[in-house]
Copies of this chain bind each other. A is one copy, B any other.
């Protein structure tokens, strides 16, 4: 199920004039599927619906994904790739732990607020049943991110010589809750916007977790 196992670029370059080639990438399929799942509900969306929305033949869709489970797994896996590339990889380059955590909070909020990323990453938090093997693979990636943050919070507590009132495990779930809950209430036209939101949540979390 690795991305490179399917020669998307070959298909596109070999037959450039057919309709299928224009949307025949896994990324397009995942993005369209994510939109349909959110508009109609995951269970109410069929493989036929996904194919029709992309103006693909059923065969064209099944060439890439054998089932809706496979689409959902790849959506969630892609959401974790986004988190890796937009949040984890950039902050790894920051030497100072406090600055690393501040940057992590800002970048994670940016991913949640980005309209393009949001339609993919929100799927991580919907409770659709996945087959156990696929569910475990996603949960393992989620847990790695939680541990990465938890270790970083513990490191900042050591640097700041925190009193030990707050344990890093409670703090990491508090922070993930603050950030991931944004999906539930955020409106682009609302009063609380990007930079201000990151600044406010950083202020609340830092004063809260590093007493």
Interface residues of A (CB under 8 A from B): 38-44, 125-129, 165-167, 169-171, 173-174, 176-182, 184-185, 191-192, 196-197, 200-201, 203-209, 211
Contacting pair B184 A170 (CB below 8 A): no
The complex places the Cα of A2 from the Cα of B41 at a distance, in Å, of 27
| Chain B residues near A204 (CB-CB < 8 A) | 166, 170-171, 174, 205, 208-209
Selected contact of A184 from candidates B42, B125, B207, CB within 8 Å: B125
The complex places the Cα of A187 from the Cα of B211 at a distance, in Å, of 27
Query: 6 new A-B pairs (CB below 8 Å) besides A126-B126, A173-B182?
Result: A39-B129, A42-B43, A170-B200, A177-B181, A205-B208, A208-B209
Main secondary structure of the interface of A (DSSP, over half): helix
Residue with the greatest number of chain B CB neighbours at <10 A, chosen from A167, A178, A201, A204: A204
Give me 6 A-to-B residue pairs in the complex whose CB atoms sit less than 8 angstroms apart, sorted by A's number. Answer: A40-B43, A177-B179, A178-B181, A180-B184, A181-B181, A206-B208
| Chain B residues near A200 (CB-CB < 8 A) | 166-167, 170-171, 174
Contacting pair A41 B181 (CB below 8 A): no
| Chain B residues near A44 (CB-CB < 8 A) | 43
Contacting pair B38 A41 (CB below 8 A): no
| Chain B residues near A185 (CB-CB < 8 A) | 173, 176
Question: A197 — nearest CB in chain B belongs to which residue?
Answer: B170
